[in-house]
Amino acid sequence: MEKYYEIRLESIGGLGANLCGKMLGELGIKYLGRNSTSFSSYGSEKTGTPVKGYVRYCDKEKEIRIHSPVIHPDLLAVFHQALLKDKGVWEGCDENTEVIVSIDGGQMEKGLKIPVPVKACHIIDAQQIAIETHSRINMVMLGAIGKVMGFAKLSDLNQICEDALGSKYPDALKGNLEGIRRGFEEVRQKTIDSGVENLQSLKSRDSSREWGYLTAPVGGINPRFGSSVAADLSPSRQGYIPVFIKERCINCGLCDSTCPDMVFQFAKGNYKGKEMMVNQGLDYYHCKGCLRCVDVCPVNALVQGLEAEHPNKEYFLPNQDIIRKPEYYIKAGADGYITSESYLTEKRMEGGEV
């Protein structure tokens, strides 16, 4: 290995990328005969917020002397297809980068596009495999990453899984090993369209960040804020969604009170001759599929369903106009304080621009 072999994991909280990165780091030291480092970058430990994992390998005779994030990965693993729309995912990728994308049921396979030229693109239906094997998406991705790397054996991946999870979760070990095996065997290379025209804009973002040491606002405001009202939580679903059957609903409100992300929408209506707030269904953009509402519903108006079987979720929420789209929240900026009256008054007193 002439230089570092670098891996970057692009994911969100809830898909297990942090654990996957740790296992890849231990894999290099224990079973691949290499030195390795691994660490993750994330904000609040909350489902739906951005997570990046970084792994470096080098020959045993060498040392890893850098500990910064991986900027130009040899292998990029994208844990959910919804992340493809984020330009930041592709920063630093070029003709030397291999990419693995977890797609959902083949729905995006035909229109899959990569905005930069890459060495090769590989796809894997990690979510469906995880459902079928009773494992997790990170275990399926671990198997796929091991296969694409080219210098890890399936037996090595199985062993690192047993080391990490065998004693803690012995009942889940069989399913996780099966998930790794299927990820290793079923990941496949795909010819994709590359948006070469976007390459220069992504390269420019690499070299010149919008905010840096001299230009960042005082106070450490985070531009990648993790508020769930603005974050797309749909990638964190593990293949299941709550299906709303309006005819059964008695408008008790238990679903709304138990939902951690307040996805249920109510509007004035008539229920059994009474004017009241009537349940219209749920906003799937902000639903992370925890299924608490399914557990608490007393009349089975909410039931568990496979997301792949319900591509047109608007059917369950006909009143789409009552949902505030993500753009509504994003207008608030990185921090509510910067749009507040006190902040604007302070800037005027200082004589600065508002």
Q: pTM here?
A: 0.72
Do 201 and 263 fall into the same domain? no
- Residue identified by tokens 């729905």 is 107
Q: Is residue 113 one of the residues assigned to a domain?
A: yes
Q: 198 with 289, same domain?
A: no
Residues 22-56: tens digit of each pLDDT:
999 999 999 999 999 999 988 666 677 788 999 99
Find the domain containing 76 and state its range.
Answer: 5-207
Domain assignment present for 108:
yes
Three-state SS annotation for 251-281: CCCHHHHHCCCCCEEEEEEEECCEEEEEEEE
Considering the domain boundaries, does residue 340 fall inside one? no
Number of folded domains that form the chain: 2
Of 36-45, 141-150, 287-296, the range with the lowest mean pLDDT is: 36-45
**Angle (nearest 5°) at CA 311 between 107 and 99:** 30
115 and 20 in a common domain: yes
pLDDT in tens, 108-132: 555 677 888 899 999 999 989 999 9
Say yes or no: 299 and 250 in one domain.
Answer: yes
What are the CA-CA distances from residue 29 to residues 25, 32, 160, 174, 183 (Å)? Answer: 7, 6, 11, 24, 22
CATH number at residue 72: 3.40.920.10
Q: How confident is the model at residue 333 (pLDDT cuts 50, 70, 90)?
A: very low
Is it the case that residue 175 has pLDDT exceeding 70?
Answer: yes
Q: What is the CATH number for 291? A: 3.30.70.20
Same domain membership, residue 251 and residue 110: no
Same domain, 199 and 270: no
Is the domain of 296 the same as that of 175?
no
